[in-house]
Amino acid sequence: MERVKNEAKSGIVDDEEDTYFIKAFIQEMEQQKHTPKLMRKKNIANLRGLCEDLFVGGMDTTSNTMNFLILYMVVFPEVQAKMQEELDQVMGDNEDGKKLICLADKAKLPYTNAVINESQRLVNLGPIILIHRTTKDVVIGGYAVKKGARIVPQVSSVLYDEKIFPKAT
């Protein structure tokens, strides 16, 4: 992290993708260095905490999501075939094997994105998400909740709601 911090301060940019988030965060910190310390939103302690959250939170959920996606492809071969067709169209003639799907291709893959999103919705690996705070007085489920109250949203109550997702299960 110190190497990336020094690079960000010096303006030297190493194009290693695995540090983009860290570099962007540190560059934002540099822009805030003249802001009074108590008002700064970006600091090294926050960065370390965010990196830990991303690392820990992303490991199991990512691999488990991929496992369920593969399972769904086995159970629904027609979905797999349609997804493969879309991927092949974006890949084009790739006999040399050099073309790879990248983030820039995402907009060209609506069906693939829909399949991934739907599998994430169905598997619901995180039914309860992190604690949030209300930004104003609100009514949730008929209950008055004051501004600043801590709430723990239960995502599954939305993911399987027939009003939001018809034929949700």
Does 60 or 89 have the greater pLDDT score?
A: 89
Q: How far is CA 62 from CA 23, 55, 65, 116, in A?
A: 23, 10, 5, 11
Does 12 or 129 have the greater pLDDT score?
A: 129
Q: Is the pLDDT of residue 57 over 80?
A: no
Kindly calculate the radius of gyration of the chain based on its CA atoms and give it in whole angstroms: 21
Q: What is the mean pLDDT of the chain?
A: 80
Q: What is the pLDDT of residue 167?
A: 76
Backbone dihedral angles phi then psi of residue 144, each to the nearest 5 degrees: -75, 125
Amino acid present at 32: Q
Q: Is the pLDDT of residue 2 over 70?
A: no
Read off the pLDDT of each residue in 89-107 and give the average, rounded to a whole number.
Answer: 82
What's the pTM? 0.56
Q: What is the pLDDT of residue 10?
A: 61
Packed helices 110-123 and 77-91: angle between N→C axes, nearest 10 degrees: 140
Q: What is the pLDDT of residue 40?
A: 60
Q: What is the pLDDT of residue 121?
A: 85
Q: How far is CA 158 from CA 7, 17, 66, 118, 161, in A?
A: 43, 34, 22, 13, 5
